[in-house]
Amino acid sequence: MAPPVSGLRELRSRRGEMRSRVELLLMETQARVCRALAQLDGAAAFSVDSWERQEGGGGISCVLQDGDIFEKAGVNVSVVFGHLSEEAAQQMRSRGKTLKTKDGSKQWWFGGGTDLTPTYLNQEDAVHFHKTLKEACDKHGPELYPKYKKWCDNYFYIKHRGERRGIGGIFFDDLDSPSKEEVFQFVQSCAEAIVPCYIPIVKKHCHDSFSPEEKLWQQLRRGRYVEFNLVYDRGTKFGLATPGSRIESILMSLPLTARWEYMHSPPENSKEAEILEVLRNPKNWVH
């Protein structure tokens, strides 16, 4: 898709360092996801923007819009360094994190996650999505999927609505044990699960028909997605608080269109009410 943010020469010079390995993993994952999405859409191509941050680092933003299948798709990588603003630093301190300990040693941790936010509930799709993620987690311990599934349900919670953003997945942050290498291998397994957990669902439904009423419900659910991303999402808040951040990349995940209606409530026993029940009371999709 694009050269690495740090440059091939620099990455080769520190090939064995974890920072280089993580950047290469992110670049490989970005390329793999973009290829899968573009191949499935078949009409639109990704625009690829390489950008630099004056305060240190940069990124690669890949965005596809107005395709035959995807109205909008985005796959971004950011590799940044430098001094944090007080607001961004306070967000880290509030989670008990510092970049250096009192003895001067540097701190490290990993974070990541993926969730599915369908407009309507399809039990088979939900099971496939969660089963694929569970298989990735189980390679590194049977306790990981239940733990990170619950964390995902709690993290993607829209408190003022009493709803989750979607039907869950996995989420983890501040992960610094058992060892740097073991956590990296776990993250790599999760990254490799992105395409197989999602693309088959899109292939299955990309030619489904829909009614104006169903399109309206999609727009309302998109509104909830926007609310979470702008009010609660840790990454969005951190990005907006970071000096020199690229706003277009931070807000890339927002949908092209969304809708808010005053006091909207779906009819009882409707398909809309069915998914709303799951968003309010998360289910265990696999065991």
- Dump the DSSP string for 139-202: TT-TTHHHHHHHHHHHHTEETTTTEESSS-EEEEEEE--S-HHHHHHHHHHHHHTHHHHHHHHH
Query: 52-56, 170-174, 200-204, 274-278 — which is least confidently predicted?
Result: 52-56
Same domain for 120 and 206, yes or no, is yes
Per-residue model confidence as pLDDT tens digits over 166-222: 999 999 999 999 999 999 999 999 999 999 999 999 999 999 999 999 999 999 999
pLDDT of residue 99: 61
* pLDDT of 275 strictly over 70: yes
Same domain for 157 and 34, yes or no, is no
Tell whether 287 is covered by a domain.
no
pLDDT of residue 85: 72
Last residue of a domain, one of 82, 97, 120: 82
Same domain for 89 and 11, yes or no, is no
Per-residue model confidence as pLDDT tens digits over 116-166: 999 999 999 999 999 999 999 999 999 999 999 999 999 999 999 999 999
pLDDT of residue 78: 93
Identify which of 279, 280, 284 has the alpha carbon closest to the alpha carbon of residue 146. 284
Tell whether 7 is covered by a domain.
yes
* Rounded-to-integer distance, Cα 177 and Cα 150, Å: 19
Average pLDDT of the chain is 92
Cα 46 to chain center, whole Å? 18
User: What percent of the chain lies above the pLDDT cut of 90?
Assistant: 80
pLDDT of residue 142: 98
Per the structure, the count of domains in the chain is 2
Same domain for 235 and 145, yes or no, is yes
Domain extent for 65: 1-82
* pLDDT of 271 strictly over 90: yes
Tell whether 285 is covered by a domain.
no
Q: Which residue has the higher pLDDT, 1 or 81?
A: 81
pLDDT of residue 243: 86
Tell whether 255 is covered by a domain.
yes
* CB-count burial class (<10 Å; 0-12, 13-18, 19+) for 184: middle
Per-residue model confidence as pLDDT tens digits over 72-128: 999 999 998 887 777 767 766 656 666 666 666 788 999 999 999 999 999 999 999
Q: 258 falls in which pLDDT band (50, 70, 90)?
A: very high
pLDDT of residue 86: 79
Tell whether 263 is covered by a domain.
yes
Per-residue model confidence as pLDDT tens digits over 16-43: 799 999 999 999 999 999 999 999 999 9
Same domain for 70 and 100, yes or no, is no
Last residue of a domain, one of 82, 108, 142: 82
